């Protein structure tokens, strides 16, 4: 058996290619939307991708199930559990619908779908058995059910998908799924989750890529609650301290349920000259994306430009700064070359931003402006209407600037009605990177904003400054 973990550091997301080497067949589980990597890995191992499936309707990225099926002719398999509100839509009319216990055959390998609700009502996990080696399963793809050291959060439907108090039923279902499914398995079964450290789909995900049922049974935070049959204690602990859910998650849920648009083969991106881009910007026909770090941007950038500082987090940050549901103008990127621009395009496609029109390799010849910045020393005498902490609420609770309000960078574009249109807003995060992304988007929307240079790190390093906690007490 071939088992390849294909990890996206941008979104902390893992997909898996599982192949039977004897028959030359493979299946992909939880693919992302730029699918060339799966086709390449299969070809390198003389395999055909004959099936593709996913553990649930994802919220943090756009599924590549339809894309990969279209590219390879693979059969699609999706959950048919969770009730009518969680039934896959018209884009999956050709998919095979799975109920609890359904088995997918890939050569000598069997994937048995187990309904493990909690994170979402329709969630499936997959037990993998290589019948060439053993009649017993050796691996479990747990999706967003069990992570290394944590569990999939059950509150995302409330936080990002318009649900109302679904978190409590989800937490109860997760407790039951652990007790009646996960903990009935042998300790040796390896656990392969769909996310790693940095994902917003849990609150304390480990950086180790895999675990075992036995390890989680003995060392996870939730084990004591299951051992003592303490459902209420489990629910209280699970729901406390969850990080902010990014606002774009709601869009992902809707698109993934209906069926994401199929991209097909990527075309060549246009390389703009400075005069061409200047004309397009003057006509308000495109949106420019500065891809440099925040310090370089502060030295001068294109007026009303967005900021996505580096390709490595372009999907996550892009989804904070650009909403394809409300914005139709295409993006032109600052990129080193065509390959660099194409990499940005691939990352952005993972969150449904399909409107990259081209790139330019230099700012030479373009009119630049300097964004408004305020230093730590200038802040006490600076006239502002709002001091805005753009970190997560858990970070804010641990210590923030006196008088600051909190709105995480991943939610800012969707909460503009809560921000003052009169006066200057001063923004900060931990280092300035996240707030820089959100601030550029808010400036484009017409807000007067000054960024705190060096952000929270610079402020706490200055003599005499002492942050406060959410409860109003001074932090140590």
Residue 379 lies in a domain: yes
Query: Do the domain assignments include residue 265?
Result: no
Q: What is the pLDDT of residues 254-293, one digit of tens each?
A: 999 999 999 998 889 999 999 999 999 999 999 999 999 9
Three-state DSSP string of the chain: CEEEEEEECCCCEEEEEEEECCCCEEEEECCCCCCHHHHHHHHHCCCEEEEEECCCCCCCCCCCHHHHHHHHCCEEEEECCCCHHHCCCHHHCCCEEECCCCEEEECCEEEEEEECCCCCCCCEEEEEEECCCCCCCCEEEEECCEECCEECCCCHHHHHCCCCCHHHHHHHHHHHHHHHCHHHCCCCCEEEECECCCCCCCCCCCCCCCEEHHHHHHHCCCHHHHHCCCHHHHHHHHHCCCCCCCCCHHHHHHHHHHCCCCCCCCCCCEECCHHHHHHHHHCCCCEEEECCCHHHHHCCEECCCEECCCHHHHHHHHHHHCCCCCCCCCEEEECCCHHHHHHHHHHHHCCCCCCEEEEECCCCCCCEECCCEECCCCHHHCCCCEEEECCCHHHHHHCECCCCEECCCCCHHHCHHHCCCCCCEEEECCCCHHHHHHHHHHHHCCCCEEEECCHHHHHHHCCCCCCECCCCCECC
Residue 470 lies in a domain: no
Classify residue 476: in a domain, yes or no.
Answer: no
Q: Which CATH number do you get for residue 315?
A: 3.40.250.10
pLDDT digits (tens, 9 = 90+) for 365-422: 999 999 999 999 999 999 999 999 999 999 999 999 999 999 999 999 999 999 999 9
pLDDT at 88 over 90: yes
Residues 67 and 53 in one domain: yes
Interval 182-233: pLDDT, tens: 999 999 999 999 998 766 666 667 678 999 999 999 999 999 999 999 999 9
> Of the candidates 233, 258, 283, which is a domain's last residue?
258
Taking all residues of the chain, what is their mean pLDDT, rounded to a whole number? 95
Domain boundary among 302, 334, 369: 369
pLDDT of 253 above 80: yes
Tell how strand 306-307 and strand 2-8 pair up: unpaired
Residue 289: how many other CB atoms lie within 10 Å: 24
Instruction: Domain count for the chain, please give it.
Output: 3
Residue whose token pair is 């109920």: 99
- CA–CA separation, 17 vs 116, rounded Å? 21
Residue 469 falls inside a structural domain? no
Average of per-residue pLDDT across 47-72: 97
Output the pLDDT for position 474: 55
Residues 318 and 300 placed together within one structural domain of the fold: yes
Is residue 263 a part of any domain in this protein? no
| Residue 171 near residue 118 (C-beta atoms within 8 A) | yes
Write down the pLDDT at residue 285: 97
Confirm if 53 and 40 have CB atoms less than 8 A apart: no
Check whether residue 76 and residue 206 sit in a common domain.
yes
| Other CB atoms within 10 A of residue 475 CB | 12
Task: Tell me, yes or no, whether 453 and 365 share the same domain.
Answer: no
Domain containing 88 equals 2-258
Residues 126 and 9 in one domain: yes
Residues 354 and 403 in one domain: no
State whether 93 and 183 are in the same domain.
yes
User: What's the pLDDT at 476?
Assistant: 46
pLDDT for res 266: 86
Residue 219, domain CATH: 3.60.15.10
Is residue 471 domain-resident? no
What's residue 133's pLDDT?
92
For the ranges 78-87, 190-199, 297-306, the lowest mean pLDDT is seen at 190-199
User: How does residue 472 score in pLDDT terms, banded at 50, 70 and 90?
Assistant: low
pTM: 0.94
Give yes or no: residues 244 and 183 share one domain. yes
């Amino acid at each position: 058996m071939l088992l390849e973990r294909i990890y996206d550091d941008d979104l902390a997301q893992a997909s898996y290619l599982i192949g039977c080497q004897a028959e030359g067949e493979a299946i992909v589980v939880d693919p992302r939307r730029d699918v060339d990597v799966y086709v390449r890995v299969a070809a390198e191992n003389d395999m055909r991708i004959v099936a593709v499936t996913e553990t649930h309707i994802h919220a943090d990225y756009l599924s590549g199930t339809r894309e990969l099926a279209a590219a390879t002719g693979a059969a699609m398999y999706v959950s048919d559990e969770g009730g009518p509100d969680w039934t896959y839509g018209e884009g999956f009319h050709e998919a095979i619908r799975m109920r609890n216990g359904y088995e997918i055959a890939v050569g000598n390998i069997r994937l048995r779908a187990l309904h493990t609700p909690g994170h979402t009502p329709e969630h499936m996990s997959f037990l993998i058995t290589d019948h060439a080696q053993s009649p017993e399963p050796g691996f479990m793809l747990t999706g967003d059910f069990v992570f290394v050291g944590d569990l999939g959060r059950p509150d995302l439907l409330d936080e990002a998908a318009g649900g109302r108090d679904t978190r409590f039923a989800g937490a109860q279902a997760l407790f039951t799924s652990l007790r009646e499914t996960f903990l009935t398995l042998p300790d040796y079964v390896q656990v392969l989750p769909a996310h790693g450290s940095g994902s917003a789909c849990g609150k304390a995900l480990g950086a180790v890529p895999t675990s075992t049922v036995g390890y989680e049974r003995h060392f996870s935070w939730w084990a004591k609650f299951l051992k003592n049959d303490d459902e209420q204690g489990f629910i209280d602990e699970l729901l406390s301290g969850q990080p902010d859910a990014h606002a774009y998650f709601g869009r992902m849920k809707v698109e993934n349920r209906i069926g994401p648009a199929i991209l097909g083969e990527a075309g060549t991106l246009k390389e703009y000259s400075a005069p061409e881009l200047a004309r397009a910007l003057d006509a308000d026909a495109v949106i420019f994306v500065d891809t440099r770090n925040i310090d370089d941007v502060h030295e001068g950038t294109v007026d009303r430009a967005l900021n996505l500082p580096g390709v490595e987090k372009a999907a996550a940050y892009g989804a904070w700064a650009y909403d394809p549901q409300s914005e139709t103008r295409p993006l032109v990127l600052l990129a080193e070359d065509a390959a660099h621009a194409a990499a940005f395009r691939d990352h952005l496609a993972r969150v449904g931003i399909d409107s990259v029109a081209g790139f330019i390799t230099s700012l030479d010849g373009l009119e630049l402006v300097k964004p408004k910045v305020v230093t730590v020393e200038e802040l006490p005498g600076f006239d502002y209407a709002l001091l805005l902490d753009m970190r997560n609420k858990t970070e804010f609770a641990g210590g923030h600037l006196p008088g600051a309000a909190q709105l995480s960078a991943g939610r800012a574009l969707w909460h503009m009605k809560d921000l003052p249109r009169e006066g200057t807003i001063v923004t900060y995060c931990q280092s300035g990177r996240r707030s820089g992304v959100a601030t550029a988007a808010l400036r484009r929307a017409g807000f007067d904003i000054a960024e705190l240079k060096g952000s929270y790190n610079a402020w706490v390093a200055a003599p005499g400054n002492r942050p406060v906690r959410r409860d109003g007490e001074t932090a140590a």
